[in-house]
Structure 1
Amino acid sequence: MIPHAPLNDALELASEWPQLLAQAQRLAHSFALGGHGRRRAGAGDIFWQFRPAQAGDSLRAIDWRRSARADDQFVRENEWQAAQSVQFWVDTSASMYFASEGSSKHFRAAMLALAVGVLLSDAGEKIGSSDGLLPAKPGRAQIPALAQVFSRISDDDFGTPQTDDLKPHSLAVFVSDFFGDFAKLERAVTSAADQQIAGALLMVLDPQEVNFPFAGRTLFESMSGGLRYESQKADGLRAKYRSALQDRQAALASLAQSVGWQFQCHTTDQPASAGLMWLYQALEYRR
């Protein structure tokens, strides 16, 4: 049988949220941002940079004092300061509570989402959930509230992003193992993209789900216990399983690319900082 933490253990997560929040905040604060935030030109009062004047720039945009010190004309740009809305969906379905060792996929997914939420909140952005339970707002009070949303346990074997309450022209972050119905995921992502929503898909897997180390007689059972399959020679399934996983990852990457989103796979034996760096940079690219 595949080793896993019983689903009932998920009911004890409420007592672990203080630890989750602490880890997410520690991870966020250890992340070297450098030039973070909304470092692009736009409406604002904070000076950002001078750039050479281009065709189409009005005479009013020219900074004549800076231009007088050179042969070229320069435009003064201020930093864009309009707050962006970023809405999260972290899969809380049964499959996310699998853990061959250490933390479950759900714990890692929630920690990464919360950590990037801390960084975004510190940068002045609005954060919330995609399901409408937590409307996107600025302020650090959103972090523990977001953690409570992530703690809502689903009875489903696999999850599908909820997009009905996504705000047009915002950013979306979907974190899951994405083992569910691909057609439902595709509809959710394309629906979001149709509302001019950019985003990122972060696939979180357990190392056993990548390596498939099973051999001999093995009973495979879903986390809810609703799906069971027994094999007398599990190692004979390895090549077919790995091919299916690669096909799913390729489909996810293709879906993301087709709507201008970002996709990455992260395993729970990798440093959490690697997942956070990718996720933050994926969002920074779109902000």
Structure 2
Amino acid sequence: MRVTDFLSPEELSKLKHLQVLARQVVEGLASGMHRSPHKGFSVEFKEHRQYVRGDEIRNIDWKIFGKTDRFYIREYEEETNLRCTMLVDCSGSMRYSGSRSDGLSKHQYATRLAASLAYLLLGQQDSVGLVTFDDAVREIIPPRSRPSHLRAILGTLSGTEPQRETELGKVFHQLAAKLHRRGLLVVISDCFGDVDELLKSFAHFRHAHHEIIVFQVLDPDEVDFPFRGRTQFRSLESPGHRQTVDPAQLRRAYMEKLQQFREQLQLGCRRNHIDLVPVTTDTRYAEVLAEYLRLRRRAS
């Protein structure tokens, strides 16, 4: 899997001129453009953990393999500036694609946005990892800073198929207990679900001193509800659940509910000092990142 399978040469060219800076102290050890809470430098052994796809084979502890017949990794304090983990939603609602998004579903857009960010971070020698989820965690690739790590991330992104229901709050609470080292968390999701539980899980991340960016990916159809005439709507998370209705009778109530949902999410993110970036699937990924990073740098 190559980055050109996700991004065009034009988009790659635009990404080369961008830069992600950490706003707060991160758990990196190398001196560089991000502040670190540590003084000095260390690559001391930290702990063992079970091998997952994407780990460097040379870090396998073969002595433990000989005793247990299982693969374990010797984990060290990493020589990196910024430690970023991307949380990519692969629930059923992300399958939606409208007529104005050139056939691109929200999930396909999310994976390309994640690929753009991974390419950008690894290009500036930072560490990036990936978590895919729906109503549970599906894949975890630990953050690494080697350029070859991009292939593992792209392979996982291309292999995910959106399905199942969404349990953002529950999944993020579980992840908060597993992500021990503070860093940058990038959530790429439509954020559909229980907003109160989602905001509580964000607060859990913030309590652990993570910085959070949320790219809320929506299809243009979900933003302005353009449907006319009797239309059949079917659930992408609950197969078999469908209903034919007159959109004209629903539009006002839908738009009010959507506005309430977006305002509640925006207010909650502001209270927790989280950057919320609304995105629609008819916008180019590189342009989304360029505009956000420009505003981010100005606010720093």
- TM > 0.5 fold call: yes
What are the residue-to-residue correspondences of 1:179-190 with 2, within 5 Å? 179-190=192-203
Change (3 A) 1:44 1:179: closer
Alpha-carbon separation, structure 2, partners of 1:277 and 1:201: 15
For residue 218 of structure 1, report the CA deviation from its aligned partner.
Answer: 1.7
For residue 266 of structure 1, report the CA deviation from its aligned partner.
Answer: 0.8
For residue 24 of structure 1, report the CA deviation from its aligned partner.
Answer: 6.6
Candidates 145, 164, 168, aligned match of 1:156:
164
Give the structure with higher Rg (CA).
1
CA contact (8 A) 2:116 2:286 kept: no
Alpha-carbon separation, structure 2, partners of 1:281 and 1:176: 22
2:14 paired residue number: 30
CA contact (8 A) 1:97 1:106 kept: yes
Structure 2 SS opposite 1:220: strand
Candidates 134, 144, 148, aligned match of 1:137:
144
Alpha-carbon separation, structure 1, partners of 2:90 and 2:216: 13
1:245 paired residue number: 258
Alpha-carbon separation, structure 2, partners of 1:227 and 1:265: 28
What are the residue-to-residue correspondences of 1:71-220 with 2, within 5 Å? 83-101=81-99, 102-130=103-131, 133-150=140-157, 151-158=159-166, 160=168, 162=172, 163-164=175-176, 165-220=178-233
Change (3 A) 1:285 1:217: same
Alpha-carbon separation, structure 2, partners of 1:24 and 1:255: 35
How many percent of aligned residue pairs carry the same amino acid?
23
| Aligned positions, number | 235
Alpha-carbon separation, structure 2, partners of 1:283 and 1:134: 27
CA RMSD of aligned residues (A): 3.2
Change (3 A) 1:226 1:190: farther
CA contact (8 A) 2:106 2:281 kept: yes
For residue 197 of structure 1, report the CA deviation from its aligned partner.
Answer: 0.3
Structure 2 SS opposite 1:255: helix
1:261 paired residue number: 274
Q: Does residue 228 of structure 1 match 2:242? A: yes
Structure 1 SS opposite 2:282: coil
Gaps of 5+ in 1: 1-16, 48-80
User: How big is each residue's C-alpha offset from its partner over 1:115-136, in whole Å with a ceiling of 9 and x where there is no partner?
Assistant: 0111111111100024571111
